[in-house]
Structure 1
Amino acid sequence: MTFIVRDLDRMQQILTEVLGAVRVYDSGSDTFSLSEERFFLVGAGEAATWVATMRGDGGLPRTYNHVAFQVERADLPGLREKITGLGLEIRPPRSRVEGEGDSIYFYDDDGHLFELHTGSLRERLAVYVPPAEPVE
């Protein structure tokens, strides 16, 4: 996924401090693509997610369009503290179905919405789609 941002350093701070991302590339003044860019890995091993940031016009409207990252429930308080410490806007949570997991939603400085979610897709589907009743 690629995020267009006004400030590459600020987005790097958010990615590394909140998501534990590791920067693996910085184009510097070279522009092999559309503008200066940086690449990050979020997560470990083959399951790591490649996140790119490119310098450009940020300033998106604040909507519910978002990207979600799975986190451990025990990590939520510390993550909330990091997000607040960075001065980022936390969005109020949406209503939840019991067993769906908990989330923190926050905006970066360019209006991208991030979700840190404690549940998995498998767990959510188990809540949303109850098992079929046995056929007699």
Structure 2
Amino acid sequence: MPGREARVPWGIAEVTGPSMYPTLRHGDQLLVRYGAPVRAGQVAVLRHPLQQDLLIVKRLAERREGGWWVLGDNPGAEGDSRVFGAVPDELLLGVVRARYRPLGDQRSARAVLSWLLLGVRPVLAGSGAPSVRRRSLSRRLRAR
């Protein structure tokens, strides 16, 4: 993402699908930093290389010729570089900084406190499933 200037530095995206489980779950909301420097192990938001109107969330596994090799944290789910190859740099949009689960209908003090303690957490590099910690991540703006 060097040389790219983001118009809006922060955004929110919603996860759909199981490809990033257990790091991310269907329905999670993501805080995304657009234009941030990236490194292997981070979770990022990208345009799908074969369907560029679709946004995906994947873990950046490694740099390869042609771009980033990206993988989902759920090895049983499809839809990462094992299917479509390396993702060119220009399709990398931003880095996921945090995820939170929607608060839901309960608004009691206890429910809000529980949500603050358990429902919000940073998304760190290498925090994926044990078999994927050295690999990459996925998502879509209703992310898959």
Give the TM-score, by structure 2 length: 0.26
Name which one, 1 or 2, has greater alpha-carbon Rg: 1
Larger fraction in helix: 1
Give the TM-score, by structure 1 length: 0.27
Q: Which has the higher contact order (CA 8 A, sep 6+)?
A: 2
Larger fraction in strand: 2
